Homo-oligomer: A and B are copies of this chain.
Amino acid sequence: MESLMIYMPIAMAALGLIYMLIKKSWVLKQDAGDGRMKEISDYIYEGSLAFLNAEYRLLSIFVVVVSILLAIVSFVVPTTHWLIVVAFIFGAVFSAYAGNIGMKIATKTNVRTTQAARTSLPNALKVSFGGGTVMGLGVAGLAVLGLTSFFIFFFWYFMGAEWSSEMIMVNGKLESQGNFDMIIVLETLAGFSLGAECIALFARVGGGIYTKAADVGADLVGKVEAGIPEDDPRNPATIADNVGDNVGDVAGMGADLFGSYVATVLAAMVLGNYVIKDMGGAITDAFGGIGPILLPMSIAGVGIIISVIGTMLVKITNNDAKETQVMGALNLGNWVSIALVAISCYVLVIWMLPETMKMSFFGEGLQDISSMRVFYATLVGLFVGAMISSITEFYTGLGKKPVLKIVQQSSTGAGTNIIAGLATGMISTFPSVLLFAGAIWASYAFAGFYGVALAASAMMATTGMQLAIDAFGPIADNAGGIAEMSEQDPIVRERTDILDAVGNTTAATGKGFAIASAALTSLALFAAYVTFTGIDGINIFKAPVLAMLFVGGMVPVVFSALAMNAVGKAAMQMVEEVRRQFREIPGIMEGTAKPEYDKCVAISTEASLREMILPGLLTIGFPLLIAFVPMIFGMNNLAIAEMLGGYMAGVTVSGVLWAIFQNNAGGAWDNAKKSFEAGVLINGEMTFKGSEAHKAAVTGDTVGDPFKDTSGPSMNILIKLTCLIGLVIAPILGGHTIAATVTSTQFIETTNGVTDAIEIEMVSVDTENAKAIVTTTFTDNGNVMKEESVLEGTLGEVKAAVAKLQAEHKK
């Protein structure tokens, strides 16, 4: 059974995807409502498709360009294999396809939720959460399926699916052939992760610009100038606004977590390989000697089934339920899945890892680490995932102290409201960063960087469930919009509003989860980067490294500003278009003429894709510049690797801070504004919507919108993508791949008592043109003789020949 474990994650992913398909067909079978509802829903669906198609066009160009670049790299650098291009393309396609599934089901589920809300609240929850489940399992299933399939393929291709414990010399250090080959496998696999994260850049950043441009545009002209309510069908930008909810919150979040999921597992596998190296280059276990590498994959696989169970638990029966009950149902599913992950981690860790491992700690040398300590590290990850949600909830939740304070400060105008909101976001970094720092420290103390990566893996195991909860929010939001636009009975809107309110809370906590996952993923990638390049560490007392730490710290700040400006520009275009339609199309306001929804959709689509080019270039360009410009000037590769590491650390630290700051400030402003809907007590007076204080709060929310939906969440992508690019560049910088130094020596005592020796030196490990020199020393009539022969061919052939020679001499 153990030897089949490598296939387990694929099986689990397949099961999850089958369940997803069943759920999908169930959702699609639900009643899609009557004419008007269907019509609006179709507009949203078509708008989404328009965005997706435009995005795919741009993406295709991008993927082709990057593929060519990667192909060139793999051609120039002997140890970067061309299969990385294939992995990259598949990573991009899988991620895009997962987003496609999510967007489509979300835009199909919204109208069905409205229709279900006409019958009862439990039904509405069932349908909307069903849609979320399809999204969640689609993303998680495809991520695990893609990653593990490629791993198995590369494991066969590069290693013949066998771990070789033979020791070879790499850069003057002994290393097992298995470790060496596994690095090639994982380096190539990094292409898959890079592909997925590139799509996330487009989906998260482009989506964030899209959704806010449409939102701000619709509000500024519709609500403020024309005085018509939100989601009014007379507003030309209203469809774009609803499409935006799906583009940003569904597809963007999905691609973000898809990327985190894949990158975390990959990084944990890299560090698992390092554990085996620390244990002497080979271990004996029932899993073909790769238990520590299989473990993160297995946790991810089991996580999918747990997510399925979690989603099944989310249901309510009472038609008169309020927010609390709905939230309770979601929480039940969430907590049960976290508990199940904890139990599975215990079982898997104890079963799959050696009881005691050796791990090298910087400055402390090799230490004995029991498998129980690895389990504790996974608990740290689960704890962080749960805690970060509570922290986010505290700083952004309705009725909580920070939000109430912003409400109070609204009474003295927009200025004080803004200051209070900014301060809230800034203060919220305190517990969040202490939590992260504590988690890094603790998981490292338990089990080194392998522990850090497994903490991230455990946290990410419930990705399917988390995404289901996340995606359900925008679906409910859209359902409410459709109810409004199709002028339903107020009870329908009331029911969707309950779901929407819960959705707003889960959106905030979901963002917390996404940051935490991005932070831990980046750290794991960072650790993997250091092991890939073979540098001793990253010493910021070297001035160039320190300079790069500064530059890295600056990039998230500038990226955020670019994203915010992009929203501003796109929103202005939208405002002009809506004004034009109101002016030029007679009868819009009377409802006798239909607005040109598609023009607004097109503006948002084009603007979002155009405006993300500059931040995208910043993200991808800086690490490349840092790596290749000094190389042109002949700087030492290891020094460059250290500089790039400093840059990565700067981006990660600063990016995490700015993500927390912006997300929480934005969330707090949003809920401060919402507080006025039910009325708030300011200086002893009940104050409602329409008051001066409320207007100040609306200003705060305007500032918060791009913070929490565009620039804040895009930090996740920035930090992960930066670290991934570093990881992909690593083999070029790292010394371990310099092929000519691979040497293997073996001495054999022959029967006649004379020392007979065979020495094999691998002078090239290029996959297509490998070469080994075999020197045999023997005695002939008392004379010591030397004979030299050369083995040439593909890497596989040369290795086979070497193995045969060695086997012969062992006899």
Chain B residues with Cβ below 8 Å from A702 are: 413, 415-416, 418-419
CA distance A639 to B361 in the complex (A): 12
Chain B residues with Cβ below 8 Å from A562 are: 427
Minimum Cβ distance to chain B for residue A632 (Å):
16
Interface assignment of A747: CB less than 8 Å from any CB of chain B: no
Q: List 11 A-B contacts (CB under 8 A).
A: A362-B542, A415-B703, A418-B703, A423-B561, A427-B562, A440-B543, A444-B543, A536-B539, A537-B540, A553-B654, A699-B699
Instruction: Name which of A41-49, A428-436, A494-502, A784-792 contacts chain B.
Output: A428-436
Of A537, A553, A565, most buried by chain B (CB within 10 Å of CB) is A553
Interface string of A402-438 (1 = CB under 8 A from B): 0000000100111110111011101101100110111
| Complex contact A541–B699 (CB within 8 A) | no
Chain B residues with Cβ below 8 Å from A564 are: 419, 422-423, 426
Minimum Cβ distance to chain B for residue A450 (Å):
11
A-B contacts besides A415-B699, A437-B551, A540-B649, 10 pairs, CB < 8 Å? A413-B702, A414-B414, A418-B699, A423-B561, A429-B558, A440-B547, A441-B544, A540-B645, A541-B645, A553-B657
Interface assignment of A485: CB less than 8 Å from any CB of chain B: no
| Complex contact B650–A557 (CB within 8 A) | no
Interface assignment of A548: CB less than 8 Å from any CB of chain B: yes
Minimum Cβ distance to chain B for residue A655 (Å):
10
Of A523, A527, A546, most buried by chain B (CB within 10 Å of CB) is A546
Given contacts A414-B414, A418-B699, A551-B434, contact A657 B543 (CB under 8 A): no
Q: Which 5 A-B pairs have the closest CB atoms?
A: A415-B702, A444-B543, A426-B561, A537-B539, A433-B554
Chain B residues with Cβ below 8 Å from A557 are: 426, 429, 657, 661
Interface assignment of A530: CB less than 8 Å from any CB of chain B: yes
| Complex contact B441–A547 (CB within 8 A) | yes
Q: A550 touches which one: B415, B433, B554, B661 (CB < 8 A)? A: B433
| Complex contact A703–B546 (CB within 8 A) | no
CA distance A656 to B549 in the complex (A): 12
Given contacts A440-B546, A452-B543, contact A427 B561 (CB under 8 A): yes
CA distance A539 to B542 in the complex (A): 10
Interface string of A744-779 (1 = CB under 8 A from B): 000000000000000000000000000000000000
| Complex contact B423–A565 (CB within 8 A) | yes
Interface assignment of A309: CB less than 8 Å from any CB of chain B: no
Q: A539 touches which one: B426, B434, B539 (CB < 8 A)? A: B539
| Complex contact B542–A430 (CB within 8 A) | no
Minimum Cβ distance to chain B for residue A551 (Å):
5
* CB within 8 Å of B: which A513-561 residues: 523, 527, 530, 536-544, 546-551, 553-554, 557-558, 560-561
Minimum Cβ distance to chain B for residue A169 (Å):
23
Chain B residues with Cβ below 8 Å from A735 are: none
Interface assignment of A568: CB less than 8 Å from any CB of chain B: yes
Minimum Cβ distance to chain B for residue A394 (Å):
15
Nearest CB to that of A444 among chain B residues? Answer: B543
Interface assignment of A363: CB less than 8 Å from any CB of chain B: yes
Q: A362 touches which one: B220, B409, B541, B645 (CB < 8 A)? A: B541
Assembly of this chain: how many copies?
2
CA distance A560 to B658 in the complex (A): 14
Given contacts A418-B699, A568-B419, contact A544 B653 (CB under 8 A): no
| Complex contact A657–B656 (CB within 8 A) | no
Interface assignment of A192: CB less than 8 Å from any CB of chain B: no
The chain A residues found within 8 Å of chain B, CB to CB, are 220, 362-363, 409, 412-416, 418-420, 422-424, 426-427, 429-430, 433-434, 436-438, 440-441, 444-445, 448-449, 452, 523, 527, 530, 536-544, 546-551, 553-554, 557-558, 560-562, 564-565, 567-568, 572, 575, 639, 645-646, 649-650, 653-654, 656-657, 661, 698-703, 706
Chain B residues with Cβ below 8 Å from A427 are: 558, 561-562, 565
Chain B residues with Cβ below 8 Å from A412 are: 220, 572, 575
CA distance A536 to B540 in the complex (A): 11
Nearest CB to that of A412 among chain B residues? Answer: B220
| Complex contact A703–B419 (CB within 8 A) | yes
Chain B residues with Cβ below 8 Å from A554 are: 429-430, 433-434, 657
Q: A363 touches which one: B538, B542, B547, B550 (CB < 8 A)? A: B542
CA distance A702 to B418 in the complex (A): 9
Nearest CB to that of A636 among chain B residues? Answer: B363
Minimum Cβ distance to chain B for residue A464 (Å):
29
Chain B residues with Cβ below 8 Å from A363 are: 542, 639
| Complex contact B441–A543 (CB within 8 A) | yes
Minimum Cβ distance to chain B for residue A159 (Å):
28
Chain B residues with Cβ below 8 Å from A645 are: 540-541
Minimum Cβ distance to chain B for residue A545 (Å):
9
CA distance A429 to B552 in the complex (A): 11
CA distance A429 to B553 in the complex (A): 10
Q: A527 touches which one: B423, B541, B550, B551 (CB < 8 A)? A: B541
CA distance A565 to B656 in the complex (A): 23
Minimum Cβ distance to chain B for residue A337 (Å):
28
Nearest CB to that of A445 among chain B residues? Answer: B543
Of A549, A575, A706, most buried by chain B (CB within 10 Å of CB) is A549
Minimum Cβ distance to chain B for residue A212 (Å):
10
| Complex contact A649–B415 (CB within 8 A) | no
Nearest CB to that of A424 among chain B residues? Answer: B561
Nearest CB to that of A437 among chain B residues? Answer: B547
Nearest CB to that of A420 among chain B residues? Answer: B568
Given contacts A436-B550, A702-B415, contact A568 B409 (CB under 8 A): yes
